[in-house]
Amino acid sequence: MKMLEIKGGNPLNGTIRISGSKNSVVALIPAAILSTEEVTICNVPDITDTSALCEILEFLNVDVKRATESLVINSVNMENKEIPSMYTKKLRASYYFMGALLGKYKKVTMALPGGCSIGARPINLHLKGFEALGATVTNKDNIYTVEAKDLKGANIYLDFASVGATINIMLAAVLAKGTTIIDNAAKEPEIVNVATLLNNMGAKIRGAGTSSIEIVGVEKLGKCFHEVIPDRIEAGTYVILGAAVGNNLKISNIIPEHIEALTSKLEEMGVFLDIGTDYIIVSSSKNYKPVNVKTQTYPGFATDLQQPLTPLLTMCRGRSKIEETIYENRFMHIPYLNQMGADIRVKTQTSTIIGPTKLTGTDVVATDLRAGASLVIAGLMASGTTRITNVEHILRGYENIVEKLLEVGAKLELKEV
């Protein structure tokens, strides 16, 4: 098990370069197997979620070559086998193999996906989409089999604009016969990135990034070269860190529009941001004003950033509120922040942060990925030493987090315990 020891309280200065997006690459890797030729994906982050998906590819006899920042995936010798839970439980995004294998072979058998415990996270909308395309779904002892004689384009309305369901249905529909329309589709930038990969491979997808996506089925997908977009959640996490303890901290290689909901909230608090075309420079200041935040689907305030934002709100004079509308159980970082000296109350789906309070280092646990990011920020703000266990959650989604933070002057060490 790994533990992160942070000695907090010193200002951070320099540049943090943002890596490729976790939530894009975890869909791009399964999407690549739809091609009958080689697919090269560059700007691939070196995180454990990427490795877990590459293990699934290798299990399916797909040839994967990893270079410094790229992956070359060739599925010519691929075998469509049942994917057991030892592979699928490592991450949520293993479910993208459902859409991809169903699209390619018209049959997939795999165990339930894993991922952070932040709510019930059902996959009913994915399955309804597959059924609308003509597939039947059976579930025996948590092993799903989804199969179809033929997949036929259909009109699908999503009851909720789910990121996973939108991408999975696109993956299943690109090789189907006829036209599929997904209405109330999710609009996240990761969806546009996946649609662009598929179109580069020869698919016919229009409207990705809007709430109506049209997919005209094609017979075959081919070779392509594709780049992962910068990770907007990693970018947002470090911008928040800069507002807490930055001294001209530059967050580079980003697409600022992707985190506009965050940056406008920070500006409302009184954070001064120098926003360039592909960077943001941020410094900490005093007398931040409290704010109210409500998580929403894109382009609203990202649920993945509400946990990292929470420790910063302990600096505001007055009561801030965060209403979480996407997941039922995304407040597991709060008891630990309170142990560090915060005054935060959670009632139903809303946390109220009463400030300002000073944070002091103590022993805490990263219960999930973004809770972990929240505790890293809190540890860097706090006086004294913070020890975070269950760091494996953080390493699933933040490339070289320790190296990146050391580079800008943070004092921290990753230890085996």
Cα 71 to Cα 27, 127, 275, 328, distances in angstroms: 13, 29, 31, 35
* Shortest Å distance, C-beta 22 to ligand EPU: 6
Q: Is 334 exposed, middle or buried (0-12, 13-18, 19+ CB in 10 A)?
A: buried
User: How far apart, in whole angstroms, are the C-alpha atoms of residue 156 and residue 135?
Assistant: 14
Per DSSP, helices labelled H in 202-252 are 232-245
Is the alpha carbon torsion for 327, 251, 288, 314 positive or negative?
positive
Which residues face 109 on adjacent strands? 145
SS3 readout for 20-68: ECHHHHHHHHHHHCCCCCCEEEECCCCCHHHHHHHHHHHHCCCEEEECC
Q: Is 77 exposed, middle or buried (0-12, 13-18, 19+ CB in 10 A)?
A: exposed
Is 54 one of the annotated active-site residues of the chain?
no
* Shortest Å distance, C-beta 142 to ligand EPU: 16
* Shortest Å distance, C-beta 143 to ligand EPU: 18
Peptide bond between residue 84 and the one before it cis (omega within 30 degrees of 0) = no
User: How far apart, in whole angstroms, are the C-alpha atoms of residue 76 and residue 227?
Assistant: 22
User: How far apart, in whole angstroms, are the C-alpha atoms of residue 95 and residue 164?
Assistant: 8
SS3 readout for 191-209: HHHHHHHHHHHCCEEECEC
* Shortest Å distance, C-beta 134 to ligand EPU: 19
| Count of other CB atoms within 10 angstroms of residue 389 | 17
Q: Which is nearer to ligand EPU, 305 or 315 (CB)?
A: 305
Q: Which is nearer to ligand EPU, 304 or 399 (CB)?
A: 304
Which amino acid appears at position 169 of this protein?
Answer: I
Q: Which is nearer to ligand EPU, 226 or 370 (CB)?
A: 370
* Shortest Å distance, C-beta 163 to ligand EPU: 4
* Shortest Å distance, C-beta 285 to ligand EPU: 28
* Shortest Å distance, C-beta 259 to ligand EPU: 13
Cα radius of gyration rounded to whole Å, the chain: 21
Supply the DSSP symbol for 1.
-
Q: Which is nearer to ligand EPU, 166 or 320 (CB)?
A: 166
What lies within 8 Å, CB to CB, of 222 at 6+ separation is 35, 36, 37, 201, 202
Q: Which is nearer to ligand EPU, 2 or 121 (CB)?
A: 121
Q: Which is nearer to ligand EPU, 233 or 244 (CB)?
A: 233
- Where along the sequence are the contacts to ligand EPU (CB under 6 A)? 23, 26, 92-93, 116, 119-126, 160, 162-165, 186, 233, 303-304, 326-327, 369-370, 397
* Shortest Å distance, C-beta 40 to ligand EPU: 22
- The residue number whose beta carbon is nearest to ligand EPU equals 164
Q: Which is nearer to ligand EPU, 60 or 167 (CB)?
A: 167
Which residue in 54, 116, 224, 316 is the catalytic one? Answer: 116
Q: Which is nearer to ligand EPU, 227 or 304 (CB)?
A: 304
Active site (catalytic) residues: 116
